[in-house]
Amino acid sequence: MKKITVLLATIFVLSSSVFAQVTDEQKETKKLEVMGGLCAGYMYNTYITVGAVADAFVSEQYDKARSIELMKEQIGMIGSIVKMMQDMLDMKALKAQSDIDYTKEVIVVLKGLSQQAQYVIDFAEKKTDDASAKYDKQRLSNWSKISKLLGLDDEE
């Protein structure tokens, strides 16, 4: 009787692990979900970072040099990520059109965030109303795109 119980338990464990194995398609789906989550977090946090540096400059918490340095770092990181994402599109690494479309939309947002960071630099260097207006217009455009892409309310 003990042998039968052990045999049945072994068969149950083995059969459960066979059914619990993850398919390549499930792995690919999980990778895409993670990539989407990372993109969402990166876009949101970059938007917040650029805005926080702009606010810190205007309130004189950061000086011109520090603000420009931080924005150049953001522009550099954004550029690297845009290149990686574009390379992924160019090599046709994504199968589903929805994944391709999402990636293209993320690239558009990232380029907009890079432009917003550049406008912080422009404002820090010139302190003109024109530079401020360009920054604000880009900021609003970026938030509209981010909130749409992430399914957030279109509020500031």
Quote the CA–CA distance of 18 and 25 in Å, as a whole number: 16
Q: Which residue reads 């990232």 in tokens?
A: 110
Q: Quick check: 15 pLDDT over 70?
A: no
Average pLDDT value for residue range 21-39: 89
38 or 156, which is more confident? Answer: 38
Among the ranges given (4-18, 47-61, 92-106), the one the predictor scored with the smallest mean pLDDT: 4-18
Q: Are the beta carbons of 142 and 152 closer than 8 angstroms?
A: no
4 or 129, which is more confident? Answer: 129
